[in-house]
Amino acid sequence: MATTTWILSPSPASFKGREMPIEKFRIRCSSVSLNTRSEPQPVTTFVKAFAPATVANLGPGFDFLGCAVDGLGDIVSVRVDPQVHPGEVHISDITGHAPNKLSKNPLWNCAGIAAIEVMKMLAIRSVGLSLSLQKGLPLGSGLGSSAASAAAAAVAVNEMFGKRLGVDELVLASLKSEEKVSGYHADNVAPSIMGGFVLIRSYEPLELIELKFPEEKELYFVLVSPEFEAPTKKMRAALPGEIGMAHHVWNCSQAGALVASVLQGDVVGLGKALSSDKIVEPRRAPLIPGMEAVKRAALEAGAFGCTISGAGPTAVAVIDDELTGHAIAKHMIHAFLHHGNLQASAKVLQLDRLGARRIHD
Amino acid sequence: MATTTWILSPSPASFKGREMPIEKFRIRCSSVSLNTRSEPQPVTTFVKAFAPATVANLGPGFDFLGCAVDGLGDIVSVRVDPQVHPGEVHISDITGHAPNKLSKNPLWNCAGIAAIEVMKMLAIRSVGLSLSLQKGLPLGSGLGSSAASAAAAAVAVNEMFGKRLGVDELVLASLKSEEKVSGYHADNVAPSIMGGFVLIRSYEPLELIELKFPEEKELYFVLVSPEFEAPTKKMRAALPGEIGMAHHVWNCSQAGALVASVLQGDVVGLGKALSSDKIVEPRRAPLIPGMEAVKRAALEAGAFGCTISGAGPTAVAVIDDELTGHAIAKHMIHAFLHHGNLQASAKVLQLDRLGARRIHD
């Protein structure tokens, strides 16, 4: 079986998640939980969880497809803390990338919001938690930084209380965080939690399709991040309001080809589909200095395909061997410098097939 | 391996097939063939070929996805005929559905055009052929009637001369026919020739992705055709010129889900995706009296999904067992009568996995 479908039969509250004000959602969510669940106890006093970076959009998969990449991500530790008011979360410290740019107020922190949501779903009201966030991911890079923080926090809190919530609930909890930071989109949080490639089929109800990339196949992502700030909101404003039928049909067919390539393990086909977006990439690429030249450089260096990761500014190329991946990375870095006047750094990473998980050290 | 990709490295002529006037294409095609191929001789004096009906669009697969259905289609017989000018095709007779509506001039007959194209590709100039067409498919039903005639003719002529052409060339030959009749779209001819589900990835060059539906899975198409003429051109004129981003993303994600469901053999998911089109079906369904009620009736009777087949007026529903299929068919016929005031007939058919083939009787 090549794919698995996750369907959530939502609680009355989450059914309307998108239109409902956050506070209203929370109140309802708590009341549902209180009425139907007994409060679980912590199974341990300390949990550390890792959640991987993600590449969303993948060209024609705009706003509904994403995948997780291995070896890069955020770490959240949670600790039972008698100093913290029961049922609440305290953020004790933030380390790693740009710690001063992130709020320690849990209601304004991606990890904090997701942790609180999971506690509400579990109806935790007699234990307080202290949370520590290690940002392995830079902010605003197009690699799902906020999603990784939320996913790691959601998984950590769920592990703390005996893993009572399923994947779909963890995605919903993390979505509350994404909603506040960058919009109600699951194409980063779902793959960060589930690993691999995930297609977001619908939000009401939330329905996720896991697209299994064959185990025996090699797939490398060349991720090149320039020193440039591409705010998600600005990139979203660049999108066309209306799309002509010919472009719509083209992108739809490429989205279908992308899904087929993933399930088949056809990296060449995947690259070709990744590169084929005629709707979003042409609007966004010119906003990232050098991006068009970077894509050309990647393809000339042998990449099977290249596009913008998420809302940018990271460029993502795909290839089936690591050495070529590093050569492609050099050409892409060079192109960012010479055509965009931007310093850039690169990583060559494999698909993360596990998703967010507890780690021990 | 779940999918196979067919890529054609086109001849200089077929590269520009879409923009080039037909005659220009033909001249170039002939000259290429004459220069590079020796003329094959017939391996037999008579060939009969069957090509299946097809369901194109499949909801969000609009204009790039189609599949073949078993047990319904057109039959073309070709015979070496010394009375026919060498290198030419004569249509001797047309039987079955609406024979008087079809031209016997091979340049204006779907089977004739495809047969001539195959002869040109093979550089046949010393043998004339007589062609007989049995229309198993009604015209303008939305079941790929013209495509089945073209596919059967292309395969018959190719068999006659020792099967020198591959699938991709047969699709291109049949596309010349479709171009003249209903537009340059391969979503009927490709599945009619190849069988199963086929995704049209691109036209220049022609690139087709075969989506293998698992052998062990059951899939039934309930095809209900009302007595109503829905001309392809009128249905095409009903399409929106511009599409909003939200609907684009929705349909793209459903197209991805459709492809995943086919490869996974998930008939429930396939039905859901089939039913989910927010762009084309809402514009076309109101032009077919009763169609919206027919869809509701199909779903209420247990169908996993329902939409318009091709450009209509046939309605197609999917289910995983034949008996339920017949019950669904009854409800759909009833809905056409009571809500559209149209008589309708139904068939419950399986996926055709073979495509156009030689038959013996």
pLDDT band at A236 (very low <50, low <70, confident <90, very high): confident
- For A3, the closest of B1, B243, B260 (CB atoms) is B260
User: Nearest Cβ partner of B64 from A63, A243, A252?
Assistant: A252
**Which pLDDT does position A30 carry in this prediction?**
37
d(CA B254, CA B275): 9
How many residues belong to chain B? Answer: 361
Cα angle, residue A331 at apex, residues A142 and A344 outer, rounded to 5°: 40
Nearest-Cα distance to chain A for B231, in Å, is 20
**B57, B280 Cβ separation under 8 angstroms:** yes
Q: Kindly report, residue by residue over A279-330, the tens digit of the pLDDT.
A: 999 999 999 999 999 999 999 999 999 999 999 999 999 999 999 999 999 9
Which chain A residue is nearest to residue B269, measuring alpha carbons? A5
Interchain CB contact of B177 with A (< 8 Å): no
- The residue of chain B with its CA nearest to that of A238 is B245
Is the ipTM, as predicted for this complex, more than 0.95?
Answer: no
- Rounded to 5 degrees, what angle do the CA atoms A82, A86, A92 make? 60
Residue B319's pLDDT band (cuts 50, 70, 90): very high
Say if residues A342 and A227 touch (Cβ distance below 8 Å): yes
Cβ separation B242–A242 shorter than 8 A? yes
My answer on whether omega of the bond before A191 falls inside 30° of 0, hence cis, is no
CB A269 within 8 A of CB A255: no
Q: What is the mean predicted confidence (pLDDT) over A128-133?
A: 98
Interface test with B, best of A1, A63, A215, A248 (most B CBs within 10 A): A248
A chain contacts of residue B241, beta-carbon cutoff 8 Å = 244-245
Contacts of B252 in chain A (CB under 8 A): 60-62, 64, 251-252, 255
The three-state DSSP-derived secondary structure of chain A is: CCEEEEECCCCHHHHCCCCCCHHHHHHHHHHHHHHHCCCCCCCCCEEEEEEEEEEECCCCCCCCEEEEEEEEEEEEEEEECCCCCCCCEEEEEEEECCHHHCCCCHHHCHHHHHHHHHHHHHCCCCCCEEEEEEECCCCCCCCCHHHHHHHHHHHHHHHHCCCCCCHHHHHHHHHHHHHHHCCCCCCCHHHHHHCCEEEEEEECCEEEEEECCCCCCCCEEEEEEECCCCCHHHHHHCCCCEEEHHHHHHHHHHHHHHHHHHHHCCHHHHHHHHCCCCCCHHHHHHHCCCHHHHHHHHHHCCCCEEEECCCCCCEEEEECCHHHHHHHHHHHHHHHHHHHCCCEEEEEEEECCCCCEEECC
Q: Is the pLDDT of residue A101 over 90?
A: no
Other CB atoms within a 10 A radius of the CB of residue A319 amount to 28
| Chain A interface mutation, best of B185, B259, B279, highest count of A Cβ atoms under 10 Å | B259
| The two three-digit tokens of residue B353, written as one number | 């996995």
Evaluate if residue A89 carries a pLDDT over 70.
Answer: yes
- Mean pLDDT across the stretch A141-153? 96
pLDDT at position A181, please? Answer: 82
| Unique residue bearing structure tokens 């049995």 | B134
What is the pLDDT, as a whole number, of residue A32?
40
Domain architecture of chain B: domains with CATH: 3-211 (3.30.230.10), 220-350 (3.30.70.890)
Predicted TM-score (pTM) of the model is 0.89
